[in-house]
Amino acid sequence: MSNIRGRFAPTPSGLMHVGNAWAALLAWLQIRSQDGKFVLRMEDIDGPRCRPELAEQALADLRWLGLDWDEGPDTGGPHAPYTQSERISFYEEAIDKLNKSGLLYPCFCSRAELLAVASAPHGLSSEGPSYAGTCRHLTPEERQARQHSKAPSLRFKIDGGRSVIFEDGILGKQQSTPGAGGDFVVRRADGIISYQLAVVMDDAAMRITDVLRGADLLDSTPRQILLYEALGLPVPRFAHVPLLMGEDGKRLAKRHGDTSLSGLKAAGVKPERIVGWLAYLAGQVERYEPLAANELIRSFDPIRIPKEPITIHDGLMKQLFN
């Protein structure tokens, strides 16, 4: 039996759409083609944005698409729970460990101050505004004084000159300096754990060996690698697939029409049409034709996945309905 383990981890803050299906299908094929175990995890850590009914809908949509999983919130498994909101104690343990190692510090910067930085030239990346380290060097007395008026977030200290290098399974060798974006938040001022820390802890606990996800998260990878190392955890292999884009050059979304799986299903589109269409976009088949997900397993080859964003023009979308 293969030791390969992968996952798909949707956030139930909206309906599943073809962009989600694109990442889910390719992550599933990557693991199934290697006879590995596939995990479904629900990333609902941002409680105010997430809804249980959308989590249930996501599971139903993925099953309708023809995907299955060996472990998940509805099936259980040896590394349960598979829902982030039930894993808070694990994240707090990690924060305690990082704190004792001297790698965290409280940040009292207000949203307005951070937005001011964001509006400055070169202040933004896909990871958000660079942080200038304003609170990193506060004295204990200054921290205590500020704590009376504002609850702090917690930031992870980055060695500014440190370069992180990793081999991406689709994009090849990647090298970046995470410190260019400044120290990053691992727990917000409202107590919500950051995506960066939660995903590292979950993937390690669930023994994930391979992470395939959208290229919008490529900038997150160096920061996550730093967290893996700081916590003494094994680093998985990463592969980032290109995003599906509208003709306006923006990520495919509601503004480009109803691309939700439930909407397509209601319009009479069969799941095989969506799977075959996505397989064609991913270079896995030479021409578009309806296909079941399990028909793609034996021939799946990540080398054929495009490296650049894919523009979904009207003609491509119409293929789903013809």
Report the binding-site residues for Zn(2+).
Answer: 107, 109, 131, 135
Strand, coil or helix: 203 = helix
Residues in CB range of 270: below 8 A, 6 or more apart: 290
The CA dihedral of 251, 228, 36, 299, to the nearest 10 degrees, is 40
* Rounded Cα gap, residues 143 and 152, in angstroms: 9
Binding-site residues, in ranges, read 7-11, 43, 107, 109, 131, 135, 195, 213, 254
Output the CA torsion sign for 9, 253, 67, 167: negative
Q: DSSP per residue over 36-53, as a string?
A: -EEEE-B---SGGG--HH
The residue annotated as part of the active site, out of 37, 157, 250, 254, is 254
Strand stretches in 80-191, DSSP E: 104-107, 124-125, 128-129, 153-156, 164-168, 172-176, 184-187
Please give the angle made by the CA atoms of 17, 279 and 243, to the nearest 5 degrees: 50
254 noted as active-site residue: yes
Instruction: Report the catalytic residues.
Output: 254
